[in-house]
Amino acid sequence: AQSVTQLDSQVPVFEEAPVELRCNYSSSVSVYLFWYVQYPNQGLQLLLKYLSGSTLVKGINGFEAEFNKSQTSFHLRKPSVHISDTAEYFCAVSDPGNNRKLIWGLGTSLAVNP
C-alpha cells in the first residue's frame, strides 16, 4: 500500500536559518506530490505541488521542493525562515489507484525561534 514518511516529527530552527523538511513515499508508479501547511487553529493550505515537468517546484512563502524519483523523495526547503513559518507541515501523495484520494504523512512541526 502507498505510504508517506515524514522523517522528522519536530524541527527546531533559528530565524533566518535554512530548513529542510524531509518526505519519502513508497510507490513504483507515477504519483502527484503535495506539501500543505497548517498554522495553529487553522485549516490546511497548499504550499506547492508536483504533477509533472520540472523536478524543482516553487511554492508560496518562499518554499520550494525537489522531486527525486530514484530516491522517492519530495523534500521541502526554504533558504531563510521567519518566525511566521512556525506551523505543522504535511506531505501528501495521491493514491495511484485513486487520484482523488490523498495519502498523508504524520506531519513535521517546524518551530522557528528568534
Partner 1 sequence: DTGVSQNPRHKITKRGQNVTFRCDPISEHNRLYWYRQTLGQGPEFLTYFQNEAQLEKSRLLSDRFSAERPKGSFSTLEIQRTEQGDSAMYLCASSSGTAIPFVQETQYFGPGTRLLVL
Q: Provide the phi-psi class of 74: left if phi over 0, else alpha when psi is between -120 and 50, else beta.
A: beta
Query: At a CB cut-off of 8 Å and minimum separation 6, what does 25 contact?
Result: 2, 3, 4, 5, 31, 33, 72, 73, 74, 91, 93, 103
The answer to whether 4 contacts partner 1 (rule: CB under 8 A) is yes
Among residues 42 and 55, whose Cβ is nearest to partner 1?
Answer: 42
Q: Cβ of residue 114: shortest distance to partner 1, in angstroms?
A: 26
7 binds partner 1 (CB under 8 A): no
Residues that bind partner 1 (CB under 8 A): 4, 32, 36, 41-46, 49, 51, 90, 92, 94, 98-102, 104-107
